[in-house]
Amino acid sequence: MYALLEEAYKVYQQEVLQEGKLHRRFANDFAYRHSYIEIESEAEAQLHIKNISAIYELLTERLDLVKEFFTQDQFTQEDCELMLHLFNTQEPEDSPSPSKPQVLGYFTDQQITLITDFAKEQKLFKKEVSKEEFKALFAGTLETPLTANHNGLVACFLNYLRDEQFLVYPWQKVIADRQMICSKSTGKPLSRENLKNALSSFKSSHGVKYLPFEEFVKQLK
């Protein structure tokens, strides 16, 4: 599936963004191009037809996802998984409301207290964050964004929470859509791409495992 979507991304970048081809023509041509291929196994043929049908539906009925993911500078395996997850679990909104709460994570009051103390200890944010602010952050209702002291450190911490199933799968998107965390250097809200790149950069310089966070999440269980 990733190979097909990656190809669709490249074709979209070339034909739609650079050459100005109509989106409808792009989607129809892409589906037609992959409708007739030689596959000996009947099972493989059925799987291919299923995948192409799903991609055609995605390209024609979820323009919001196509514009969000196919206009990026790159399309990774992680992007593919998130795109398919949103396609399979969310209905498109005719007029998305930025004020509509999107839950980021689920925690007990005791867990919120632990997170509040740990964030203060690790100096994750420019200012000390209260329990009420963390509750609002995870509920998706935070009105005044938090400012990260280090984008990569905050992204890594949140990713650890996601790995333990405390945060929703598209946590980066929720934070970006609600503009709940800002960069200390720019003062601007972090986009999904900013968070993804910050996490990747942090892992490259500190390793895949970060002991303080790894030890902390064990306390939340």
User: What is the maximum span of the chain, computed from C-alpha positions, in angstroms?
Assistant: 62
Six-digit token string for 124: 């994750």
pLDDT-derived band of residue 118, with 50, 70 and 90 as boundaries? very high
59, amino acid identity: L
Average pLDDT over residues 103-124: 95
Residue 159: other Cβ atoms inside 10 A: 19
pTM higher than 0.85? no
Residue 83: predicted pLDDT: 93
Reading phi first (left if > 0) and then psi (alpha if -120 to 50, else beta), residue 187 is in left
Q: Give the separation between CA 176 and CA 173, rounded to whole angstroms.
A: 5
177-210: pLDDT as tens digits = 999 999 999 999 999 999 999 999 999 998 888 9
133-169: pLDDT as tens digits = 999 999 999 999 999 999 999 999 999 999 998 998 8
Residue 61: other Cβ atoms inside 10 A: 13
Query: Is the torsion defined by CA of 42, 43, 47, 50 positive or negative?
Result: positive
Residue 90: predicted pLDDT: 83
Residue 95: other Cβ atoms inside 10 A: 4
- Residue 157 near residue 174 (C-beta atoms within 8 A): no
Average pLDDT over residues 1-26: 92
- Residue 50 near residue 61 (C-beta atoms within 8 A): no
52-94: pLDDT as tens digits = 889 999 999 898 899 889 998 899 999 999 999 999 988 776 5
